[in-house]
Structure 1
């Protein structure tokens, strides 16, 4: 592998590793943040809510930037803005806490949308492999941040502000590695057809979007409530946290392996359906026998959710013919997906409050998974945006 190719792959992977730590690293520090700046629990939860909402609202900026300055420079700008946001978040004052979080999330939203287009542009013959690599990097980055922020805080003695600022270091390193691609990329506005019109008129777009938003919803519901579900079922509180860690770690392997296999086939329906059914099995285990085999349910759930996430990203790259169209499809699918996902944990909690237990919320989650399977059936069939099914 040449030095240029090595820098390309290294910058690509490290950029993907930066797409979740700024969000996932907040939860372990949240109690300390609330005490330090005087936030209520609602105010503390609002930090993550603001970030997830920004992921949905600001994704459409990415195709506009890519058309103006190119995908390479769009990704570079996202990394630099992310670094600025996490540093700002650690400065004194509640306004900077929320503003920095929002700025970091806007940068992540842009990079989320750009990554499938980057995959299509630089790895057109290895879309399945590189989708697996970068989706597993996303999941691995989230798991690593959740696990390491507290040990890093204790080791350095910096406190939550210093740890937040340290998150700028990997973003800046990724920007440095990606700089050669940005310097070689197209500098001026790009001419040619605008893909949004074709993308928005295609049925394929809405099948892929439905799959993305439903798998995001069922994932964020579990991310928010899984430890509480097991605790209410009679398991110790710390064991609920360990179970969440297990399912997140299992997702890393699933996100790497499944796209590599699925991308070799003309139809991804068997893989999408299999991933959805494994997620259903995890939900059913928690509903019917949460304490009988909780570790088994979490392994099954992790495989299903990790595979579903990676397959949704793979379909974005496979279902559009060129990088500009992939970026437009990614913008639609991911913006709607995260906007819907932000509501999932709130609605799940409301159902728990109204019903007095977890049976009704988990049944609602199974209903969402049924819709996910239906969307996956159509999204997984071989098709291209703007063309009929073969």
Structure 2
């Protein structure tokens, strides 16, 4: 591999690693943030909600930016904006906390939609491999930050504000590695049109979008509140963070293995159902016996949620009839899906505040997973987006 190729791959992987830490880094520190800033549980949940809303609302900006300045420069700009957002939210006051979080999430939204195009542009003969690397890097980024933020706080003595600002470092390093691509001769090349009309008119699109939204909702609920649930169950903060990290690490393995297996079959329904059942079992373990074998519940939950995430991305990639429709479907599914997902952490916070415990929120979560399985059943059946009556 040439030096140029090595820098390209390293920049791509590090960029992907930055797509979740700004969000995942909030959860282990949430109790401290709420206490310091003076937020209620609902207000604490709103931090993640604001970020996930931005993932949905601002995703459609990506095709506009790509056509104007090119995919490579769009990705570079996103990395700089992530760095600015995580530094800004560590400044004083709740408004700045929410604004900085929203700014970082807006950049992540643009990068989410841009990454499939980056794969096609730079790795045309290795699309499957690099898509797997991309998904695994996204999950690994969330897992590593969940595990490291509390130890970093203890080692550095910075507090949650300083630790949040440290998340700018990997974003700036990725930007440095990606700079040669953004300054290259092909960086400003414009993208082509996207067949949104065909995609929006298909029922299959909305099955896939529902599956995307609901599996994201169940994921972000746990990302936002799992450490707090375990803290209130009596575990120390570092162990609660490790549990969240474990479930995210397990998702890395699931996201690598499941697409390879499920992609060989015309129907992904058995995998969708299996992943959903495992997610249900994980939720039940946290609900009924959170401190009894908590590591087991995290492994089961991680396999279920990691498989669900990988399956929806696989379905998005294989259902459309042509590559242009893949990009259009991805934009619709991510934009609408993340808006649906954003409701989860906020509603969980309200339910926790109203009921005084986690039984009601987790029971509602089980109902959401059941609907997720139903949507995935329709999304996972053999079909081709673009054919009539879909």
Deviates more, 1:203-212 or 1:311-320: 311-320
State the distance in 1 between where 2:159 and 2:347 align. Answer: 33
2:186 is equivalent to residue 177 of structure 1: no
The residue number in structure 2 matching 1:8 is 8
Structure 1 residue 241: deviation in Å? 5.1
CA distance change for structure 1 residues 302 and 82 in 2, over 3 Å: closer, same or farther? Answer: same
> What is the alpha-carbon distance in structure 1 between the residues aligned to residue 355 and residue 140 of structure 2?
35
1:39 aligns with 2:38: yes
Equivalent residue, structure 1, for 2:55: 55
- Whether the aligned pair in 2 keeps the contact of 1:32 and 1:160 (CA below 8 Å) is yes
d(CA) in 2 for partners of 1:78 and 1:388?
Answer: 37
CA-to-aligned-CA distance 1:26-50 (integer Å, 9 cap, x gap): 33444555565x4333555443332
| Aligned 1:271-350 pairs, distance under 5 A | 271-287=271-287, 293-320=293-320, 324-350=324-350
Report the Cα offset of residue 213 of structure 1.
0.5
- Mapping for residues 1-390 of structure 1, pairs under 5 Å: 1-33=1-33, 38-41=37-40, 43-92=43-92, 94-182=94-182, 183-190=184-191, 192-226=192-226, 236-238=234-236, 242-287=242-287, 293-320=293-320, 324-351=324-351, 360-387=360-387
Contact 1:82 1:171 in 2 (8 A): yes
- For residues 152 and 35 of structure 2, the distance between their equivalents in structure 1, rounded to whole angstroms, comes to 19
| Secondary structure at 1:328 match in 2 | helix
Per-residue deviation, residues 14-33 of structure 1 (Å, max 9, x unmatched):
11110111122233444555
Output one character per residue of 1:179-221: Cα deviation in whole Å (capped at 9) or x when no partner: 333324352544x543222221223321221111110112223
The Cα of 1:106 is off from its aligned counterpart by: 0.6
Tell me, what secondary structure is at the counterpart of 1:237?
Answer: coil
Distance in 1 separating the partners of 2:259 and 2:145: 24
How many angstroms does 1:98 deviate by? 3.0
Alignment check: 8 A CA contact 2:146 2:242 kept = no
TM-align CA RMSD = 3.1
CA distance, structure 1, for counterparts of residue 266 and residue 4 of structure 2: 31
Q: How much has 1:331 moved relative to structure 2?
A: 1.9
What's the TM-score, normalizing by structure 1?
0.85
Q: Distance in 1 between matches of 2:351 and 2:83?
A: 38
Cα distance change on mapping 1:269 and 1:151 into 2, 3 Å: same
2-structure distance, mates of 1:45, 1:288? 22
Deviation at 1:341, TM superposition (A): 1.5
C-alpha separation between the residues in 2 aligned to 1:43 and 1:284?
26
- Does the aligned pair in 1 maintain the 2:26–2:224 contact within 8 Å? no
CA pair 25-282 structure 1, distance change in 2 beyond 3 A: closer
Matched residues in 1 for 2:250 and 2:66: separation? 34
Distance 1:322 1:72, change over 3 A: farther
Q: Secondary structure at the match of 1:276?
A: helix
Change (3 A) 1:81 1:250: same
Q: Structure 1 residues 260-269 or 111-120, which shifts more?
A: 260-269
Give, in angstroms, the shift of residue 357 of structure 1: 6.2
**Deviation, structure 1 residue 94:** 4.7
- Relative to structure 2, which stretch is displaced further, 2-11 or 107-116? 2-11
Q: Is the 8 A contact 1:80 1:175 kept in 2?
A: yes
The answer to whether the Cα contact below 8 Å between 1:119 and 1:317 also exists between their aligned partners in 2 is: no
Write the distance in 2 (CA, Å) between the matches of 1:299 and 1:116: 28
CA displacement at 1:115 relative to structure 2: 1.8
In the superposition, relative to structure 1, how do residues 283 and 27 fare at CA in structure 2: closer, same or farther (>3 Å)?
closer
* TM-score normalised per structure 2: 0.85
Does the CA contact (< 8 Å) of 1:117 and 1:323 recur in 2? no
- Structure 1 unmatched runs, 5+: none
